[in-house]
A and B are shown apart, each in its own frame.
Chain A
């Protein structure tokens, strides 16, 4: 008996949209089985994991709103970076170094409180955000340049620059940028007042969440309505056709890297201006890499990235809830993310291919 993948003559549009939904459903079912094997009541565990953070929607109790705020905060950097990467990947341009661009953005923007701790005005906030984007773009420009000039694989160059950026940050906070009052610990001065992101009312939702939504909407609009979006699509799907239409491949490389770099940098500076509150060796739990999953889970669509970011953020929050409420190891959250990605890829494969069982045949 032999299993064979065979290309489907026609790809179902409905299934393309449904595939992530099916993948999530399969993840939930697998999750229930895992919980049962762990000796936990599966329904209760699933409730704690996937629904408890969302319970405000049916209880309407203001006290239950907090997990939703946290969900948005956790999803914001993922959505911001994921949307930028979606555009890249759609154009067949592979920026894997968003984590480094995030770090570069945090460094350049974070220079303001380090060098001008007294400067407090709305302009400080704007300058930091802009510098964050510039930092991300600057680091992203390197792989774009090498790609266009020497045709070097942008996958490798962008990935390797992640480590460069992280080590520069590490050196800065241990050395020249260290807080003189910080007892020699590796951290800069805390960011205060206008050096931190303003929050919405008395909630913990900050400006970064709003910027993430705007970024996703703007990119979705660009991809759907603007000529640039069409150009990138064509170059990604049919490079030769793109060339005949007069679209510049190297222009697209520059555009995609600078755009996704700017968004990653913005995500980085937003994180250090909100949840972290200063520069330190660890500023991101791998948002730049998780955003790659987000981009694919969101079907390389910026709006999809927004939804996918929320779904992934839910697995993080649910993991914490499960630890506290049920005493389940934190590894479960990682297992869920892995299972989810596995089912997504499996469903996608089965959209384009069908499984044929060839009995007694040779390949």
Chain B
């Protein structure tokens, strides 16, 4: 026992020096569902964390836990960071929602931010990005570029976020070509390169000549490149996987939001909220438009500018659903509440939404 005591005192002494140096730094922490090197979703969040470090320099210290599974380990991982005296903690996956709420109750002084969830508390904010804005522009580009008038869409799970993306893409496409066709394949996974590649081949075989996806791997992009077809990237810029195939990529850009929130927590102005930023705030960024003629590029750039200014509303006006009923009113966008519980397709989509 004595020996342990001696060893631990020496080591604890060593540790204390390091923490003393860091004491005046603000501590911001992240919990990631995947490894930081996944090249997609978690990678983009980690870029945001690095931007915080760059932007706020010596005033902050950042920490993260990667590869935290949604399940029994989530709550412990979050509480671990809370005990490490993190002052703001970002939990970046939907499955961390209840765990975040539970830990937040125990640590009322720490600020928590949960991505893509819907449960808030006094010290828990939620945040997400309006990815559907980018998808509208992608739909327009697809309708302009497709020779067969048909795109293929590889999707993960029928949650509102994903359904919203499909509808927005289709509305963009229909604004250019009212008869545009969309084939959809559900792969029931966020990341499964094998299944995504198979789905891509099937869609191309069915006559689609442009691929888009709401899954995270670059598999579909690679297939499009191999077969001389076109595709859109997802989450991160996938141009390296499809230099001749990628039209643009719908990228998550969390940096500006993270910087803003950490700053707010530092100066005490932080308040719980439900943030849903889009292109205007720089949260959704379309990577450079490539492999398309100048007129298509000009159209895409104009649409981006109009969405930013609010002149173009992807879910504006009266919208006809697949079953023929209508929602919305002229000149106004659907409410966020309607968007966040979307479980219907717009007219023209040839697929039955899994319920």
Contact = CB atoms under 8 A, between A and B. Distances in A.
B63 A282 contact: no
A58 B63 CA distance: 27
A275 B66 CA distance: 19
Given A55-B8, A324-B81, A183 B159 contact: yes
Nearest to A323: B65
B63 A330 contact: no
A186 B158 CA distance: 9
Nearest to A43: B11
A47 B11 contact: yes
B56 interface: no
Contact of B11 (A44, A275, A280, A323): A44
A184 B158 contact: yes
A70 interface: yes
Interface in B147-168: 157-160
Interface in A43-86: 43-44, 47, 51, 55, 57-59, 66, 70, 73-74
Most chain A CB neighbours (cut-off 10 Å) among B14, B15, B67, B71: B71
Interface in B59-75: 63-67, 69-73, 75
A330 B11 contact: no
B340 interface: yes
A47 B8 contact: yes
A227 B66 CA distance: 49
A356 to B, nearest CB: 38
A131 B98 CA distance: 25
Interface string A254-282: 00000000000000000100011110101
A190 interface: yes
Given A183-B118, A186-B157, A190-B98, A58 B8 contact: yes
B275 to A, nearest CB: 17
Given A43-B11, A66-B83, A275 B72 contact: yes
A277 B157 CA distance: 22
A174 B186 CA distance: 13
Given A183-B341, A184-B158, A185-B159, A285 B118 contact: no
A183 B163 CA distance: 12
Given A275-B75, A330-B67, 19 more contacts: A43-B7, A44-B15, A51-B7, A51-B11, A57-B4, A66-B83, A183-B160, A183-B340, A184-B157, A275-B72, A276-B71, A282-B71, A284-B71, A284-B72, A285-B71, A325-B15, A325-B84, A330-B65, A330-B66
Interface of A: 43-44, 47, 51, 55, 57-59, 66, 70, 73-74, 174, 183-186, 190, 271, 275-278, 280, 282-285, 316, 320-321, 323-325, 327, 329-330
11 contacts: A43-B11, A57-B4, A70-B76, A73-B76, A183-B340, A186-B157, A280-B71, A316-B73, A320-B76, A321-B80, A323-B66
